[in-house]
Amino acid sequence: MKVLITGASGSVGSGSAERLASKYDLSLSDVGEMDTSAPYFRADIRVDGALDLAAAGADVIVHTPAYHGIHMGTFSEKEFYDLNVTGKFNMFQSALRNKVRRVVWLSSMSVYGNDFYAYTKKIGEQLCQYYHDKHGLEVIMLRPSDFTPYKDFRHYGESCCMAA
């Protein structure tokens, strides 16, 4: 089975790749360069059609790119929407064009919140439901409560990215 992991350099994407590499034929995609022996496709999911080449021949897309709640205040609402919503829409469009029938996506327990991150997760879940109902895609939505626990940005591993 051929599995495409989007957002492959992130925490969830790289962890998924590590776990799935011995069991599946993996392809990886992300917006930046990656050092990997797996087939790699540089693609910005915020751009329509950017995943088309990567999705060609895939059986499953494991879609992991997103700004998360910890990124609130660091990125604008537009940036959140572009990555979390438009990026997911573009991924589904590439899946349809390439006849990919299965998608795995991480939502969040934050859907019960009322900040902008929660809003993008709610829309994401609705997109998953729509593509299942309208186009028959098999979609698995996972809703972890706290898969990346952190005490502060240093603990989370992002201290290099924060201004002093």
Match 């998953």 to its residue by tokens. Answer: 128
Residue pLDDT, tens place only, 117-164: 899 999 999 999 999 999 999 999 998 776 555 555 554 444 334 333
Residue pLDDT, tens place only, 8-67: 998 889 999 999 999 999 999 999 999 999 999 999 999 999 999 999 999 999 999 987
Give mean pLDDT, residues 80-92. 96
Q: 102 - beta bridge partners?
A: 60, 138
Report d(CA 126, CA 114) in Å as an integer: 16
Sheet of 138-142, strand order:
40-42, 25-30, 2-6, 60-63, 102-106, 138-142
> What ranges do the domains of the chain cover?
2-161
CATH (residue range 2-161) = 3.40.50.720
